[in-house]
Each structure stands twice: as structure tokens, then as C-alpha cells.
A and B are shown apart, each in its own frame.
Chain A
Amino acid sequence: MTDTAFDDSPKVDRSQMKVSDEVAIEIAEMNKWYGTFHVLRDINLTVYRGERIVICGPSGSGKSTLIRCINRLEEHQSGRIVVDGTELSSDLKNIDKIRSEVGMCFQHFNLFPHLTILENCTLAPIWVRKVPKKEAEETAMHFLEKVKIPDQANKYPGQLSGGQQQRVAIARSLCMRPRIMLFDEPTSALDPEMIKEVLDTMIELAEEGMTMICVTHEMGFAQAVANRVIFMDQGQIVEQNEPREFFNNPRSDRTKLFLSQILGH
């Protein structure tokens, strides 16, 4: 089997990447509407702890909406979403609990511009987890070192490059010690030379065994890191498979078309 498209795939240490049979997220028969627009249709997805799932699909297919449902940035109207054993309902206590266990990185970083990098990272641990300030700062510095920007801790987000901001955003989520990380196109607002530094950070996270769901069109990343690739179109899961099969042997015509467009064959 050849995978010519991915010659530049990063080298990944897979020793810690273990998928357990403990369920992290369970989505069953989930539907969502925006007004009368049926944006997510009959979504069934079970994510096990330690899985790295990449979701791809054409723009407007509902990828963002799906992962935003997982931490209740969007509300679903029917079906079940169970995260870490807690079912998402309108109970605010559950929502806050799930949000503090599920980290999320956005396309546009969404850092808080009026706070320093360090304050961005310590805010939620201090106010949500009630961690003492000093301890929170130590944790923050630990994760800022991990994403390789400890020297920027006292700057404001506006003073950093896009790639640095996205790494801060990842560190900010990690400071809450989440068990699951969601990424919504984390590199698509970045200049090409910054994409790698963010992907490297994400790869490192995967190597440590984090459960991750990434919406991304970085197929090299998907090939190297993911254990499952999901293709969505028109609000539905059209195809899912392990990456090698998915890329070399797509089954549905929609997937084939999408892959040919995105890989430029």
C-alpha cells in the first residue's frame, strides 16, 4: 500500500496512545435544528478514552456545530449526549461541570485581550476550580513551557503572533486539566509557517494520551495522529474509518469527491 500524499507526515511516538474501552463521549440519535434548518441529523458517535478523532467535511456541513454541542455551546433538540458519564441537559450544574472537564480551542483563539497570557491561563482554575492563585500560576507556567512560550507570560494576547496565540489558547484549556480536548479548525486562521508549531503542540498532546476531537483539514495530521477519521456532509456522518483506509480507500462518492478536492489530485 502506498500513501504518497503523506510523505511529509510528522513522526509520532505512538507508545502512549492507547484507546481504552472506557466511553468518554456518547452521542446517540442526536438531532439539532437552527430554526427550521435541520443542521445535524441523526448523529451517533461513541468516543472511547484515548481516541484521536479527526472530523472533516465541506464548509457548512455541521462539523463546528457538532463539536460545539459536546460542551453545550450549542443546544441539541433531540437525542442524547453523555460526556464523562454526565448527560447534557438543561441542568446548569451539569453544563458547568462538563465545560470544566472538556477543553476547547477555537479557530480564532478567543483569548481575552484585556488579560495577560498568564492571567488568561489562571483565570478559570482560580474562579472555577478555586485553586489558590500561586498554585494556578505554577500550573500555568508549566503548560506555557510545554507549548514553548513561557517568556511571553506577561504580555497581552495582542502582542503575540497567531501561532503563539493558538498555543496559549491550548495551554489555557490544559490548565483546567481537561480529560477531553475539542479543536475547531485550530490552524485555519494561521499563516502557513505557523501551522506547524500548533500542530506539533497538538501532536505532543496526542502522544500523552489525551482524548481529542479535531475538526481540521490538515490531512497530514489526520494520517499521523488520528485513529479514526469522520467525514461529514449535510449534517450527517457519511463515512468513518481508520485513517489509512479512509484516505486510500474511500467508499462513498462524496468522500472521494471531497478528498480529491482537498488533496488536489
Chain B
Amino acid sequence: MSDTHAQTVPYVRESMLPQAEPPVAERGVVKWIRENLVSSWLNAILTLVSLYIIWWVVSHVWGWFAGSVWNAGSLTECREILAGEEGACFAVIAERWNQLVFGFYPPELYWRPLLALALFFAAIAPVLFPERVPRAMFVVTAAMPFVNVWLIWGGSLWGPIFVALGFVAGWGAWRLAQPRLGVLAGAILSVLAALLWWGVVTGWASPDFARILPLDLQRVTSRDIGGFLLSTIIGLSAIILSLPLGILLALGRQSDLFIINKVSVAFIEVIRGIPLIVWLFTAQLLLNYFLPPGTNFDLLLRVIIMVTLFSAAYIAEVVRGGLAALPRGQYEGADSLGLSYWQSMRLIILPQALKISIPGIVNTFIGLFKDTTLVVFIGLLDPIGFSNAIRASTDWNGIYWELFVFIGVLFFIFCYSMGRYSLYLEKKLSREHR
């Protein structure tokens, strides 16, 4: 039938057609290969070249992995077992596992960092998956930083409890003062209350409580903490602390208040403009110089502070980008309803700005986590530091690849999971708000 016919002659279909399969070349694997691998001559050639490169890499590395030795006391022993065959000597990891993971942490106390890690996961669950985890879990989140300090360094639980109570005191002062005296006076009073608590009350009350109910754990010094334990302590503390600090800096940089604005800008630019390694040396050498003589300010704590400040400067810039991306109408909408500055920030502006900033924030965190390996230069024994120390021993003199592969894989797992979570969060939020 021609077209004109179809239009002019009345037509009724007598039987309906069943749904038919598409032609073979348009289905499943064949279609996928056609479209993705050989859609043109150039693509076909690129596919072949890529396949060759993959084969080349795998074939060279495979033997090394497949023939690896996991049980030996030294590199020489390893070589004897291999007897000239190709193979990795992962025995070094099996033998030095404890050091690579815990450093010189007393082996009978390994349960403490492990428990701390479990507690950490329990604490971040309600933050990462708010709708799947009951809200009551936030109690764990609030207690985790204090309990974990106690678990890892030991000593009396009353120390962290009194520090935590100081925060409660500050918060209480804020709640009392802010409605009556305004934000600035409220903030000052709140800080004063906390300082007063830590300086005075903690000083005389904490030892008394410790005498009545000891709650003591064996002390472990920072010098004994090493390996991945060290990397995670620095990395996770800095991540947790730098996010709020970075947000405050970003708000400060956006502020109309001259002093706050300039201080934030100066802080961000100075911190960001100088390499982290310089700040780490500063932490190692200079901070003690400025502190009153006799204070023994833990090196690990100094490093955590420096890394936190460093990444806070980056977070601040990332968040500022998010803030700038919001239309002015959002600020005006919030203002016109009578929301105060902090209310509109917390309820309207930051939720949206942070959502935009998620990829940048996670990117900064991943960078921060990997940068913790720089502490090797100021003499801390992170995994890299240990790999150097292990290589210096006579048993394992000359072993490189196995240690670096192991360290690389562990860091990769951490960073990759952060990246995946960020993707999950972006998808979830964009589904919610469309």
C-alpha cells in the first residue's frame, strides 16, 4: 500500500502483531560490543591497543602476585623458598603486621583501639545514614570523641568526662545568655564558662572523683602509637574537626563584619599558601617555643591541630563556592520570614551549600587522609615510617614493593570508600530535591 492509499482508503487491522525481538545485532552482548568497543575503525584500534596494554601489565604482575610467599622470617629465607622463581615476599607483612597496624602499642591492649574503631563506626552511622539509624544513636556520636580518647591513651575516664562537661557548661551558658544578651555576649560568656570549668572545676574535682571511683586504664603514650592507627587517628580527627571549622571560616569570609571577614581571609590565605610539610615542622619545632616553658604539649596533638587547620582552610574555600552558587533569593526568602542569621544559615543556606560542596569536601578529606603520610618527616612512625624502619632491619633489608603495595591498598580502600559514600550522598540528595 502506498502512503496516499493508506490515507484515503479506510483500513482496519484484522489481527494484532505480537511484540517481536530486535534483530540479533541490536541485542545484549553483541549490541554492547558493537556500540562500546568497535563502533568505528578508530575505536576498534583503540580497543585492541587497550586490551594489549592490560594484558601486558597483568601478565607481568600476575606471576609476582601468584608466586608470592606469605610465610618466611626474612628476605633471604623468602628468596630461598622462591628458589629463583618470580614472586612477591608478602611474608614481611605477615611478620610485621602488628607494627604496621598498631605501631608500638602494647599488644595486650590491642582491644582498645579496635573497640575505639567499632565505636567510631557506631558513632558515624547516624550521621552518614540518618534515615536508617535511630536518632537515639546520636548519644553515641556525642560520647565517642571523649570515650575514644580515653580508650586510646588510657588514664582516668574522669579527664574526658570533665572535658565533655565543660562543653555542656559552655552550651548551658549560651542557652541562658544568648536570648537575653545577644549572640556576641552569649558566645563570649559561653567560652568563658567552658574555660572556667576546665581551668577551675576540673582541676580540683577530677582527682577527687578519680579517688572515689578510679575508672583507670593503663596509659599509652603518643610515642607508642604508630602505623595505620596513627594515620587514622590523625586523619579522622582532622576530618571531624576541620569540617565545622571550615564552615565557620567560609561564613566568616562571607561576613559583612569587617574584622571577622579580614581575619578569616588572612587565616585561609596564609594557611593555604604554605605547604603542609612546613606547618608540620612548625608544629614540631616552633609551637613548644611559644608555649610557656615546662608545658609538654603532645606532638601528636600538635600535628592533629596543624592538619585540621590546614584542611579547614581548604574546606572553607570549597564551602564558599557552595555558598556563592546559591541564588540571592534564598537569603532573601529566609530573611523575609524573619529567620535570624544563624537560623537561616543552619536551616536554609548551609544544607543547600553543603550539598553542592559534597564532591569538593570529600575530595579535600581524601587529600588530607593521604597527606597524613607526611608526618614521617617529623619522625612519627606512620606506615611509611615503619616501612623505612622495617627496611632498615637486617632481616628485611632491600624490600620495597611489597610494603608499598600493602600501604597503597589500605589507603586506597579508605579513600575509595569515602569517594563511594560521597557519590551515594549526592545521588540520594538529588533524588530527594530533584
- Report if A and B associate in a common complex: yes
Interface residues of A (CB under 8 A from B): 71, 73, 96-97, 99-100, 102-104, 106, 108-114, 123-124, 127-128, 156, 158-159, 172-173, 176
Bound-state Cα–Cα, A197 to B334, Å:
25
Residue numbers in B under 8 Å from A71 (CB-CB): 335-336
Contact partner of B332 (CB less than 8 A), chosen from A97, A110, A124, A156, is: A110
Q: Would you give the shortest CB distance from B13 to chain A, in whole angstroms?
A: 38
**A181 CB to closest chain B CB, in angstroms?**
11
- Asked if B338 and A112 sit within 8 Å, CB to CB, the answer is no
**Nearest Cβ distance between residue A155 and chain B, in whole angstroms?**
9
* Bound form: Cα–Cα A212–B355 in Å: 36
On whether the beta carbons of A128 and B339 are closer than 8 Å, the reply is yes
Cα(A109)–Cα(B336), bound, Å = 12
User: Which segment of B15-23, B52-60, B135-143, B346-354 sits at the interface?
Assistant: B346-354
CA distance A108 to B326 in the complex (A): 14
Q: A158 contacts B336, CB within 8 Å?
A: no
* 19 other A-B residue contacts (CB within 8 Å) besides A71-B336, A128-B337, A176-B338: A73-B335, A96-B338, A102-B336, A104-B336, A106-B332, A106-B333, A108-B327, A110-B327, A110-B332, A112-B330, A112-B333, A114-B355, A123-B339, A123-B348, A128-B343, A156-B432, A158-B434, A159-B434, A173-B337
Interface check B2, CB cutoff 8 A: no
Expressed in whole angstroms, the Cα–Cα distance for A159 and B434 within the complex equals: 8
CB nearest neighbor in B for A169 = B333
Cβ contact within 8 Å between B433 and A99: no
Taken together as a complex, chains A and B put the C-alpha atoms of A156 and B433 apart, in Å, by 6
In terms of DSSP, what is the predominant structure of the interface of chain B?
Answer: helix
Closest to A106 in B: B329
Contact A123 B347, CB 8 Å, known A128-B337, A172-B337: yes
CA A100 to CA B333, docked complex, whole Å: 12
Evaluate contact between B351 and A127: CB separation under 8 angstroms.
Answer: no
Closest Cβ–Cβ distance, residue A2 to chain B (whole Å): 40
Are A113 and B433 touching (Cβ within 8 A)? yes
A73: chain B residues at CB < 8 Å are 332, 335-336
The chain B residue with its CB closest to the CB of A119 is B347
Whether B351 lies near A114 (C-beta < 8 A) is yes
Instruction: Tell me, in angstroms, the Cα distance from A96 to B332 when the chains sit together.
Output: 13
Q: Is A99 touching B432 in the complex (CB atoms < 8 A)?
A: no
- A110-B329, A113-B433 as given contacts; A96 in contact with B337, CB under 8 Å: no
State the 5 A-B residue pairs at the shortest beta-carbon distance, nearest first. Answer: A100-B338, A110-B333, A99-B338, A124-B337, A110-B329
Least CB separation from B340: chain A residue? A96
Question: Is there contact, CB below 8 Å, between B337 and A176?
Answer: yes
In the complex, A103→B343 CA distance in Å?
18
- Return the chain B residue nearest A123 by Cβ: B347
Q: In the complex, how many angstroms separate the beta carbon of B108 from the nearest chain A beta carbon?
A: 50
Question: Can you list 22 A-B pairs, Cβ within 8 angstroms, ordered by A?
Answer: A71-B336, A73-B332, A73-B335, A96-B338, A97-B338, A99-B336, A106-B329, A108-B327, A110-B333, A111-B333, A112-B334, A112-B352, A113-B352, A114-B351, A114-B352, A123-B337, A123-B348, A127-B339, A127-B343, A127-B347, A156-B433, A172-B337
Q: How far is the CA of A73 from the CA of B332 in the complex (A)?
A: 7
Kindly report which residue of chain B lies nearest to residue A113, judged by CB atoms: B433
For B333, the chain A residues whose CB sits under 8 A away are: 106, 110-112
Interchain CB contact under 8 A, A124 and B433: no
Cα-based distance from A127 to B345 in the complex (angstroms): 13
Instruction: Name the distance in Å between B422's Cβ and chain A's nearest Cβ.
Output: 18
**Chain A positions within 8 Å of B335 at CB level:** 71, 73, 99
Instruction: Give the nearest-CB partner of B349 in chain A.
Output: A112
How does the 8 Å CB contact mask read for B316-337 relative to A, with 1 for contact and 0 for none? 0000000000010110111111
- When distances are taken between beta carbons in the complex, the residues of chain A under 8 Å from B334 are 112
- Greatest chain A CB density within 10 A among B330, B335, B355 is at B335
**C-alpha gap A113/B337 in the complex (Å):** 16
- By the criterion CB–CB under 8 Å, are B337 and A99 in contact? yes
Q: In the docked arrangement, what's the CA distance between A54 and B277, Å?
A: 64
A contact residues around B327 at 8 Å (CB): 108, 110
List residues of chain B with CB within 8 A of the CB of A96: 338, 340
Write the nearest CB–CB distance from B276 to chain A, whole angstroms: 34
Shortest CB distance A104–B (Å): 4
Residues of B within 8 A of A108 (CB): 327, 329
The 8 Å CB contact of B433, one of A109, A114, A127, is: A114
How distant is the Cα of A113 from the Cα of B338 in the complex, in angstroms?
A: 18
Give every chain B residue within 8 A of A110 (Cβ-Cβ).
327, 329-330, 332-333, 336
Distance between B84 CB and nearest chain A CB, rounded to angstroms: 64
Cβ contacts B57-79/A at 8 Å (1 or 0 each): 00000000000000000000000
Q: Mark B405-434, 1 if CB is under 8 A from A, else 0.
A: 000000000000000000000000100111
Q: How far is the CA of A109 from the CA of B330 in the complex (A)?
A: 10
Within 8 A of A (CB), among B226-268: none
Give min CB distance, A68 to chain B, whole Å: 8
Complex CA gap A184/B434 in Å reads: 27
Q: Give chain B nearest CB distance to A166 CB in angstroms.
A: 13
With the chains together, A201 CA to B333 CA distance in Å? 20
Give the residue name and chain of the A residue nearest to B328 (CB): A110
Most buried by A among B330, B334, B352, B433: B433
Pair A100/B329 contact, Cβ less than 8 Å: no
